[in-house]
A = this chain, B = another copy of it.
């Protein structure tokens, strides 16, 4: 699963992300239309105590398991709550996009995960940077 919904508990989304080797998750609305891409470091950022972000060395003094701190940091928030206010441009392409077009969208959005959407903006697939580079440079 590469998609999560905005109303999903953020803890569950973090576990979905941890459970697979993907650079991020695509957040979709109730109609299956991608809203934004959530990359893994954003999830960590929302979960970490702010003093750890200011000075990561301070994380060393926390005498608590990392999972507990992060899950407590996420708390009962939903995926929608984790999304940054200034959302990135949605990286999405049509099923007819060329490899070069996908590369341009990834480069422009600085996001290694792009949604493929049909003419109704409903998600029909996804392309990762790894998958794209494999296709472009290894074939």
Taking beta carbons and an 8 Å cutoff, which residues of A are in contact with B?
Answer: 14-15, 17-19, 21, 23, 39-42, 44-45, 47-48, 52-53, 56-60, 62, 66-67, 69-71, 93, 97-101, 103-112, 129-130, 133-139
Contacts and interface: CB of A to CB of B under 8 A. Distances in A.
Q: Which 4 A-B pairs have the closest CB atoms?
A: A56-B104, A18-B133, A66-B99, A44-B107
8 contacts: A18-B137, A21-B130, A45-B110, A56-B104, A60-B98, A62-B98, A66-B98, A66-B135
Given A41-B112, A41-B129, A103 B134 contact: no
> What is the copy number of this chain in the assembly?
2
B137 A67 contact: yes
